[in-house]
Amino acid sequence: MNTPQEQFLFLVGRVLDGEATADERATFRSLLREHPELIDAYREQTDMDTLASWKFGSASREFGSATPPSASPRRKRPTVFWRRTGVRFAAAAAVLLTGAALWRGAWRASPPSAPLSPSSALRPPSSAADSPVTVVARKDAWGLELPQALPGQIRLAKGEIKVRLPSGVELVLLSPLELQVENDMEVRLTTGRLVAWVPRRACGFTVHAPGLTAWDIGTVFSVAAEETASDLFVFKGSVQVLDSEGNGVDLCEAGEGVRAPAGKTPFKVAAEGAEAERMLRAVRGYAALDDLQRALRAARQVCEQWTAKYVPEEASRVREAARRQAALRNAPRPIPFTKTAWVRPAAPMTATGGAKIHSSEQEASNMKTTSAAALAAVAMAGAGMSGAESAPILVDTSPVHNRHWTTAFTNEIPLRWNWVTNADSAELAVTGMNGSFMTNFTDTAATSWVWPAFASAVPAAEDVYDLTLTFKDNQAIVGVLTSKLTVVTAAFGQSKVIPTPEDKPWPSVKENAVIPYDAEWAEATADATASRVVIAKQGGIIQTNALADASGYLGWKLRRSDWGYGTFTLALTFPGTVTNAWDATLVRNADGMMIKVR
């Protein structure tokens, strides 16, 4: 180790790793002074040291988890991931966008296709596995929805969970909760409580709650959004708080917070007096993360003590509302199989993005319970429909099996796969109701490809695609991967919105259509593992579609099919659960399809 370069290489590691002795640091300083040309090499090392720490981050270590680093933490657009299990068909993933936003908590039937008999191996990957939001821990959690792409919503009906965002921010979420994750650095808390731990590399993480916005500077803090007020409280570090207009409220340090009463000006609160200090002592700093309930209790009490002392008229109002909220939280929630669609309590029956077609009361008045205590409400999107076009929306037909991950918001769908051993080429076949497509890959270094799902910026028609990637070794098949992708138009603002059912007859459809189905629509069928859709034409053929999953999309091919015109009955059942069925009656005329709701 004689040359300065060799000395430098040894010492720079010792310095950056924090292992250098005083003598070694002195030598290192001398080296940089005497050989300024080494400064660039030093910068190279510090840059890479920083980059590696950002990439592989230490978000988990202070928070107590040890999951491996993600190779690609940010997903900017939906991706179809292929799974591999040797030569067998493996995972089925589905992408979908739909006019599903049209109906609200009811089965949206639309025109069907040829019988589908998916292989039992075709199962969508679990929503948690594909979510950009990682669940780190859960406690008595129930009714959890995770987004499959960002922006997306997290909902939690009961219990608490800890999640990690791609930025390294970790959030402990307490039910009942609705949280819109705009991106990995910004969330909006609609209702519920959360405690955030923000690593320094995620400085700038922003939480919006009704009446306030918190901009974090590397810290631990809580936010509670309730009917009467939003509260923020800092346990460690600093948070800059703004009101809903963007005006600064103040910079809050540990032991301080902000209360934003509904419709009123937010005010800063602080732990004051021996009692408040005593409560906070046990939960200051990272200790808040160890005993969440206690920390939130302390935060709340600090806010209330301050409010009672300095804003007494506000205090009584907030106390009363808090009592009502607590009673609501603890109320039992029996949900039978009824004529109205059941959705897990934390998942309101609205289409993501806020598009609502008609209220639940309107729906109820339009539906009658069948002998099997079933119902179906059918809304069709398609040609000939009146009403305004919606803005692009996230499509989420399932209250629990969150389908955001399957939603394409672009006509460029990245496909990714791992090559099967020995394969020297692969053939991709894409088959949909409106056509099919095939291509070959001969470069075994390629592990991804962007599939333009449709030619224009928005899809001309909805479709359900089956994707099959066949690996070959000298023309012999050595492996097959499959996936599923559904394209709907609502994500591109092509969903027709009908203001009220009374305005006009139900819409007509001429195109092939996509039928969403989900066992979670009724509590009695929530545990189903498979589904069945039976389509019967009066006086004609009956088609039974056995579906290997309990939630997904069925393509019904009408154009250029043998279905013809007439009246159709659709029934959706979930084998292995109750015999009740969701049903719908459709009439297809020569100029479209009329749908009657029973």
Partner 1 sequence: MERAENRTASETFVRRLTQVQCDLHAYITYLVGNRDEASDVLQEANVVLWREAARYDENKPFLPWAKTVAYYQALSHLKKRSRDKLVFDEDLMLLLAATDQDRHDDMQERLRLLDVCFAKLTRQQQSLLKFRYFHDWPVRRLAKRFSFSEAAASMLLTRIRRQLARCIEAARIQEAEA
Residue 266 in tokens: 């937010």
- Give the residue, chosen from 18, 312, 332, 334, that forms a contact with partner 1 under the rule CB under 8 A: 18
CA end-to-end distance (rounded Å), the chain? 86
Strand (E) or helix (H) holding 130: helix 127-130
Closest CB to partner 1 among 22 and 542? 22
Residues facing 416 on adjacent strands: 81, 448
Taking the least distance from each CB to partner 1, the nearer of 73 and 501 is 73
CA atoms of 85 and 522, how far apart (whole Å)? 33
Q: Which of 44, 182, 227, 591 binds partner 1 (CB under 8 A)?
A: 44
Q: Which is nearer to partner 1, 236 or 472 (CB)?
A: 236
Identified binder of partner 1 from the candidate list 64, 69, 115, 493, rule CB under 8 A = 69
Among 81, 215, 286, 437, binds partner 1 (CB under 8 A): 215
Q: Residue with structure tokens 């500077």?
A: 217
Q: Vertex 88, ends 87 and 94: CA angle to 5°?
A: 120
Closer CB to partner 1, 65 or 360, in the complex: 65
* Cis peptide leading into residue 78 (ω within 30°): no
Kindly state whether residue 203 participates in binding partner 1, applying the rule CB under 8 A. yes
CB of 316 to partner 1, least distance (A): 29
Residue 449 engages partner 1 in binding (rule: CB under 8 A): no
Residue 47 touching partner 1 (CB under 8 A):
yes
Residue 443 binds to partner 1 (criterion: CB under 8 A): no
CA–chain centroid gap for 90, Å, is 23
CA distances from residue 126 to 38, 66, 403, 565 in whole angstroms, order as listed: 51, 21, 10, 39
Q: Does 64 bind partner 1 (CB under 8 A)?
A: no
Distances (CA, A) of 445 to 418, 423, 425: 10, 11, 10
Interaction between residue 362 and partner 1 (CB under 8 A): no
Distances (CA, A) of 322 to 222, 326, 481: 17, 6, 53
What does the CA dihedral 33, 34, 35, 41 come to, rounded to 10 degrees? -30
Task: Please give the Cα distance from 478 to 389 (Å, whole number).
Answer: 47
Q: Does 262 bind partner 1 (CB under 8 A)?
A: no
Cα–Cα distance measured from residue 326 to residue 308, given in angstroms and rounded to the nearest whole number: 20
Residue 285 makes contact with partner 1 by CB under 8 A: no
Of 55 and 596, the one with the shorter C-beta distance to partner 1 is: 55
The CB-of-168 to partner 1 minimum distance in angstroms stands at 11
Shortest distance in whole angstroms from residue 219 CB to partner 1? 9
CB of 331 to partner 1, least distance (A): 38
- Does the protein bind partner 1 through residue 49 (CB under 8 A)? yes
CA distance 102 to 88: 37
Q: How far is the CB of 125 from partner 1 (least distance, A)?
A: 22
Residue 56 touches partner 1, criterion: CB under 8 A: yes
Contact call for residue 238 and partner 1 (CB under 8 A): yes
Q: Which is nearer to partner 1, 15 or 509 (CB)?
A: 15
15 sits near partner 1 (criterion: CB under 8 A): yes
Asked if 480 contacts 472 with a C-beta cutoff of 8 angstroms, the reply is no
Structure tokens at 320: 């009363």
For partner 1, which stretch binds (CB under 8 A), given 246-254, 330-338, 360-368, 525-533? 246-254
Nearer to partner 1, 5 or 411 (CB): 5
From CA 410, how far away is CA 457, in angstroms rounded? Answer: 7
Binding test (CB under 8 A) with partner 1, winner from 5, 65, 190, 206: 206
| Partners of 232 in the β-ladder | 223, 258
| Interaction of residue 578 with partner 1, rule CB under 8 A | no
Q: Can you give the three-state secondary structure of 215-268, one letter per residue?
A: EECCEEEEEEECCCEEEEEEEECEEEEEECCCCEEEEEECCEEEEEECCCCCEE
**Of 189 and 298, CB closest to partner 1:** 189
Residue 478 CB, shortest distance to partner 1, in Å, is 24
247/456 with CB nearer partner 1: 247
Contact status: 411 vs partner 1 (CB under 8 A): no
What gap in Å lies between CA 84 and CA 439, rounded to an integer?
Answer: 20
Residue 414 near partner 1 by CB under 8 A: no
Give the nearer residue to partner 1 in terms of CB position, either 21 or 442. 21
Binding of partner 1 by 48 (CB under 8 A) = yes
Applying CB under 8 A, among 7, 12, 79, 158 the residue interacting with partner 1 is 12
Distance CA(276)–CA(553), nearest Å, equals 54
The footprint of partner 1 (CB under 8 A) covers: 9-10, 12-20, 22, 25, 28-29, 32-33, 36, 39-58, 60-61, 66, 68-69, 71-72, 185, 200-204, 206, 215, 217-218, 237-238, 240, 242, 245-248, 251
